[in-house]
Amino acid sequence: MDDAQRYMFDLQGYVVIKNVLPSAQVTRLKEILDELERRPKDELPPHVVESKPRTEKMLYISNIIEAAPEFHALIDVPEVIDVVREVSLGLFRLNHTYAIYHWKDAMSSLHMAGTPIHPKASYTAKNGQIFSLLTKAVFPIANHSVEDGCFAIVPGSHKSEFARPFSDDPLSDPALVPVPTEPGDAIVFTEATTHGSYKNVSGRCRQSLFYCYSVGYMPDWTKLGLSFSDDLYKQVSKSQLEILRLKIT
C-alpha cells in the first residue's frame, strides 16, 4: 500500500482500487454469471452451490471460484494482494468466495463492527501496523451505482468502541455511506467494518464477486457451504495454490 491507501484503509476500513480488471475480463465474467443465473439450482457446476434460498430479490452462490477457470485469475490480482498482504502481516490465505446477485428492492443487511469484537473478524492498528483477521475484496461485475444498491459501509466503524445503536436495516443507519464503483474496480475492506448495501431501486441486476482473505491459519468457513474442493487445488497455479493453502505450519 502507498501512504494514502494505508491512511484511508485505517481511517475508513476500506479502499477503492480503480481499474484492476480489464474490461474484456469483466465482460467474460459477466457472461458466466449470466449463464449461471439461468441454470436450475441442481445443474450448477460441481462444488458451486446456491446456499441461501433464491428469492425474487437475491441470489447467493457459494464457491463461485469453482464455476469456471476464469474465476481463478481473481485469486491474485496484484493490487488487491498488495493490500491484503500488508493488513494480514504477510500471513494470509484466500478463505472463501461467493457471488451475489441483487435484483429490485434487494438490500444486504448491516453486519459487523468494532464492538462487539468478532472472533473471526477483528481489526487492530498499532505502532504503524494493521492487522485485519478477515479482509474482503468486492469485484463489481455489473451495476454498482447508488440506485443499483451498491456496497455500503459505515466508515471507521471497525474502530467503534460502542455497539451500533441502530438496527441491521441499512436505511436505519445515518452513518452509512454508499460506495459506488465501476465494473473492473475493487473495494478492499476489513470485515470488522459495519457494511451491507443500499437498496436496489433501479431494477438492474447488481452482480458482485466476493473474494475473502483470512489470516493464513483460519480454516475454510464451511457455513453456507463455503469450502474449496480438491479439484480446485489441482487446477490453480503454484503461486495461487500458495494463496489458497491453509498455513498450519
Ligand X SMILES: O=C(O)CCC(=O)C(=O)O
Sequence-distant (≥ 6) Cβ neighbours of residue 8 within 8 angstroms: 14, 15
| CA angle centred on 184, ends 43 and 66, rounded to 5° | 25
Exposure string for 211-242, b = 16+ CB within 10 A, e = fewer: bbbbbbebebbeeebbbbeeebeeebeeebee
CB of 85 to ligand X, least distance (A): 22
**Site pattern 124..143 for ligand X (x: CB under 6 A):** --------------x-----
Q: Which of 9, 103, 151, 228 binds ligand X (CB under 6 A)?
A: 151
CB of 196 to ligand X, least distance (A): 5
Kindly tell me which of 44 and 138 has the beta carbon lying closer to ligand X.
138
* Bridging pattern class, strands 151-153 and 123-126: unpaired
Nearest to 12, CA basis, from 149, 141, 187: 187
Residues 85-124 that bind ligand X (CB under 6 A): 100, 108
Residue 208 touches ligand X, criterion: CB under 6 A: yes
C-alpha cell recorded at residue 74: 481473481
Residue 6 touches ligand X, criterion: CB under 6 A: no
**Site pattern 166..195 for ligand X (x: CB under 6 A):** -----------------------------x
- Please report, as ranges, the residues that interact with ligand X according to CB under 6 A: 100, 108, 138, 151, 195-197, 208, 210
